[in-house]
Structure 1
């Protein structure tokens, strides 16, 4: 069953158009990698989904037109975002950050800290005292506490230490195996994306230029659209 449907999506920043025709479709429980070189429209697509930027075209979640909703109601409909740059509440503790966003459902404080044990160990610490990697884990945990149907991670492992990256990818693999949450991933690590994603969508200059099963993503395609 289709959860997220995007067809011919366009969006602009003032007079500067950023998206010229993005097509993307996700089923419940599916992991999709949204790929492309820097500046090709990936983060803008995320902003359009979350209603942080005005857009046109088909944009539906479980059949409902997201264009009719403000961003906070999109979140209530089940879209959880782990934004680029983490954006934790610095003066709140780890526990306070997690419960501030909590909504009823399967994801509880206990379950989140079981998935991401570092958060359990640091519940009483202020977010500002955490390392960058721990803050990223906190951002993921905070999004899960909203009990989303669609979890979006925008460069969730960018600039992190290798050991922390491994912990985050392990958590994402568990999410795929143990839950029915749909996950939209933006990341530069093709190897890690390939290990966890069912499908891939590639953007080039604000348009979808390739989509298909991750296993069908050949070296020729990655060289053409993802190479430096």
Structure 2
């Protein structure tokens, strides 16, 4: 049985259907790229996994447990760590306060996060609102890690950042993969970077899984068909 399983998921926002049949599997220690053009259901899929959006059809299982009935806070306690699109740091709290807000016991404490992102140590007592966009993204990742998740979900973690900062974020993702063996589901538009870190890929189109396979099999033809403008 897979570590994470989504089987033919359907989901709605009110009367509007967003997902029509999303399926994917992820094993422990794997990195999966969830790909697709804008508006194809990637963030909605992430929300379903984290129980921020209820699904109306299909099955979601994490570590062998059907999690359909779990509220979001219990999904987080089960080991799902979300880095949401848009970062969503608490602006009036300090860096340290943001990091400990939802911290749980385990390897990932402030010292471990500071080793991954030294800038957060330097900015420890600053408010999140005073940070640059890249520093806020590091903070959002660090905050998720301090819940000591078993599965990390990164939703557009490099969106809108300067190239040098994007490289820092990708370097951190590489370290997480190589040093922790953590399962990671990552949504991003950088095909070149995803090729370097992801083991497999699932591509969505109009809220449906239309392609899945090894990341090495995402050829130029596949990218042009499903990811091109």
Under a length normalisation based on structure 1, what TM-score does the superposition of the two structures give? 0.98
Match of 1:53 in 2: 53
Match of 1:21 in 2: 21
Q: Deviations over 1:45-88 (max 9, x none)?
A: 01111111110211000011110100110000000000011110
| In 1, Cα distance between equivalents of 2:119 and 2:67 | 35
Provide structure 2 residue ranges, at least 5 long, that are not aligned to the other structure.
none
Provide structure 1 residue ranges, at least 5 long, that are not aligned to the other structure.
none
| In 1, Cα distance between equivalents of 2:30 and 2:73 | 24
Match of 2:202 in 1: 201
| In 2, Cα distance between equivalents of 1:52 and 1:73 | 11
| Superposed structure 1 runs of 4+ greater than 4 Å apart | none
**How big is the shift at 1:40?**
0.5
Match of 1:113 in 2: 114
Under a length normalisation based on structure 2, what TM-score does the superposition of the two structures give? 0.98
Secondary structure of 1:110's aligned partner: helix
**How big is the shift at 1:24?**
0.5
Match of 2:30 in 1: 30
| In 2, Cα distance between equivalents of 1:44 and 1:88 | 20
Task: Please show how residues 86-101 of structure 1 align to structure 2 within 5 Å.
Answer: 86-101=87-102
Secondary structure of 1:148's aligned partner: coil
**How big is the shift at 1:140?**
0.2
| In 2, Cα distance between equivalents of 1:53 and 1:98 | 25
Secondary structure of 2:3's aligned partner: strand
Q: Deviations over 1:134-168 (max 9, x none)?
A: 00000000000000001001000000011110100
| In 2, Cα distance between equivalents of 1:115 and 1:101 | 18
Task: Please show how residues 146-185 of structure 1 align to structure 2 within 5 Å.
Answer: 146-185=147-186
**How big is the shift at 1:2?**
1.9
Q: Deviations over 1:24-52 (max 9, x none)?
A: 00001110000000010000001111111
